[in-house]
């Protein structure tokens, strides 16, 4: 009945190893973090999730740092402890300074506050925003 643990590279089937290897190559890390070792229980989910993350987080119209900070903003809003820890680390690695982190949290806090003020005061959308 206990929760299944992480699947390490040495215990993984080839399809999982291939994903792990691509994560390590793409991110230039020595090992994948726990998130991937747990998703490895479902190789199809692992492969699909990694393919999407890789595509979504690649540099494009938005740079990787901005994307990591947005990821962190969502995780903080949802209160996902694991995601907050891992994406804080990722955003720092991508260049987030202490000052940027402070301002990011200030915006996230403010948005969560004013979202509820708009809800509570039942503010109708301005025609200009339609």
Sign of CA dihedral 96, 46, 6, 25: negative
Three-state secondary structure string covering 59-115:
CCCCCHHHHHHHHHHHHHHHCCHHHHHHHHHHHHHCCCCHHHHHHHHHHHHHHHHHH
Question: In the bound complex, what is the minimum distance in angstroms from residue 128's beta carbon to a copy of itself?
Answer: 6
Tell me whether residue 18 or residue 64 sits nearer to a copy of itself (CB atom): 64
- The least CB distance from residue 14 to a copy of itself, in Å, is 18
- Indicate the residue among 26 and 115 with the shorter CB distance to a copy of itself: 115
Report the residue number, 21 or 56, with the smaller CB distance to a copy of itself.
56
CA separation for the pair 15, 21 (Å, rounded):
10
Residue 51 beta carbon to a copy of itself: minimum distance, rounded to whole angstroms: 8
């Amino acid at each position: 009945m206990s929760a299944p643990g992480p699947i390490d590279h040495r215990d993984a089937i080839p399809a999982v190893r291939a994903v792990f290897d691509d994560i390590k190559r793409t991110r230039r890390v020595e090992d994948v973090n726990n998130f991937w070792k747990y998703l490895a229980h479902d190789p199809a989910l692992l492969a699909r999730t990694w393919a999407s993350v890789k595509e979504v987080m690649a540099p494009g119209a938005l740079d990787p740092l901005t994307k990591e900070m947005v990821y962190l903003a969502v995780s903080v809003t949802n209160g996902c402890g694991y995601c907050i820890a891992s994406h804080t680390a990722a955003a720092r690695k991508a260049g987030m300074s202490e000052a940027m982190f402070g301002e990011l949290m200030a915006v996230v806090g403010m948005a969560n506050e004013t979202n509820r003020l708009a809800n509570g005061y039942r503010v109708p959308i301005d025609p200009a925003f339609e």
